[in-house]
Amino acid sequence: MSEPDTFEDDLLYAMSRTGEAFRSERAGLAAGGLDLGRRRWRRRSAAAVVSGAAALALVGTGAFYLSGATGGSPVAAPAEAAAAPATSGAGTAPLTTTPAATAAATKAAAPAAPVTDKEMLAAFQALLPKGEVTEAKGEGTEKSTTPYAQLVFDDGQGKSLMSVSVQRFYKGQEQQRTCPTDLRLANLDSCSVTTLPDGSTLMLSQGYEYPDHRATTKEWWATVSRPDGGQVSFNEWNAAQEKGAPDSRPNPPITLEQAKAIVTDKVWDRAVAAVRYNGIDPAVEDPGVTPDEKQAILAGLLPAGFAVQSRTTHLVTDMYQLTGPDGAKGSISVRLANWSRPFDDPQTQQSMDRGRASQLKDATVLPDGTKVVVNEPGSGSNPKFPYTRAAELHPDGTYIEVDATEGKDLLTLDQLKAIAASPKWQVRK
């Protein structure tokens, strides 16, 4: 593995570990190559599909509405929806956009009327072309931060498992979407990322279920990330199950252009407005210190002969690649956060409080109230943690954590403690 690859691996590990204790449900602070909704849906799919469910016809033109306001247009009953012929999404009445759907995603808005399990499923079905639907299942906004609908669709050319899911993220929470340079290495036939006129980012991709191609099952997906923090994802396979089923057709039935129409349809506006934010608001922990300022502070605290070679930043965590006086190389992560401000969502606050308490349970309390935690590999509250760490929580809410990652012996534990203990680490907001 090359040094840049090792550095990036360490960064992803450090950021994932840093956010491990601070998640509300499954939301992470660092996004991976695949979107969070897709990963969550895949873990849930086997249990969610109902075997032997009765066949359902698709919802008819104009039969389905999800009103954005109390007392708005009626929602067609499931029995009525099942009797109507299928149409494309072009004739589907959109959900009414609520103020929460267009408000800045940095603060939690008053929740819109919830979207039910059946409403999620009916909205999805209304966007599909003509065909038979079986094994249908949905989950609404009251039950999950990733409401979804999934079903097995057959247009007469073979069955296809497909799903749609909705999430909402705070500003700055998502990682920028990019396609890999080497599609073959990424197990993809195609990939594109475009910016839509409304500022949304659309990712379309065609790949395979199994990286080693032990089966030829294909998976195609579309994800749109909206300026309001909403994310709508669509997945489909050329088989009736994600895994363990023979291919039922050469390709999934929905084209990429049709998938784009599904995820960008206005029918999902109210679902985005109603769903709880998935994760924590990065702005709450923002220390008000820029990455450049943090790097300058660190450079002034390093022992003589040490230098910063590169930096990668994600939210309040920075990874620095260092060189020592003898030419040795290594890296450390520095997390500077403000723990004094509360989160808007009580559930998130409770989760954060538990995570922070767990991190600090082995802390030494200094006379001024500062809590100090020092861990060497295999010690402390997380015996599997492989790095040397020094962390301090100050009475004003300043939390500073310094982890030695790659090249663990580059800086000693005492040197890491000295860096973390510096009074120069102070939050500004």
Write the pLDDT tens digit of every residue in 170-222. 887 776 788 988 898 888 999 999 999 999 999 999 999 987 788 889 999 99
Structure tokens at 131: 């065909």
pTM above 0.85, yes or no: no
The whole-number pLDDT of residue 15 equals 40
Kind plus residue range of the DSSP H or E element containing 20 = helix 3-20
Residues in the chain: 429
Q: In the structure, what pLDDT confidence band is assigned to residue 137 with cuts at 50, 70 and 90?
A: very high
- What pLDDT, in 10s, does the model give residues 107-118? 444 568 999 999
Find out whether 223 and 35 touch, Cβ atoms under 8 Å.
yes
420: pLDDT confidence band, cut at 50, 70 and 90? very high
Alpha-carbon 55 to chain mean position: 33
User: For residues 34 and 235, what is the distance between their CA atoms, to the nearest angstrom?
Assistant: 12
Contacts of 47 (CB under 8 A, 6+ apart): none
Percentage of residues in the chain with pLDDT exceeding 70?
Answer: 71
Q: What average pLDDT does range 127-145 have in this prediction?
A: 94
The residue assigned the tokens 């022992």 is 303
Give the pLDDT confidence score for residue 278 in this predicted structure: 79
Domain boundaries, the chain: 25-274, 282-420
Q: Averaged over 282-310, what is the pLDDT?
A: 93
Residue range 42-76, pLDDT digits in tens: 333 322 222 222 222 222 222 232 333 323 222 23
Average of per-residue pLDDT across 97-112: 41
Residue 145 one-letter amino acid: T
Strand partners, 223: 203, 233
- Whether the Cβ atoms of residue 404 and residue 397 lie closer than 8 Å to each other: no
pLDDT tens profile 166-181: 999 988 777 678 898 8
Q: Model confidence at 318, in pLDDT bands (50, 70, 90)? A: very high
Instruction: Look at the block and give the residue holding tokens 């969070």.
Output: 36
Distance CA 139, CA 223 (A): 19
| Summary mean pLDDT of the chain | 76
What is the distance between the alpha carbons of residues 276 and 344, in angstroms, rounded to a whole number? Answer: 11
> Binning pLDDT at 50, 70 and 90, where does residue 385 land?
low
Residue 371 in tokens: 């809590």
Gap between the Cα atoms of 265 and 232, Å rounded:
10
DSSP 109: P
Spatial separation of the C-alpha atoms in residues 206 and 256, rounded to whole Å:
8
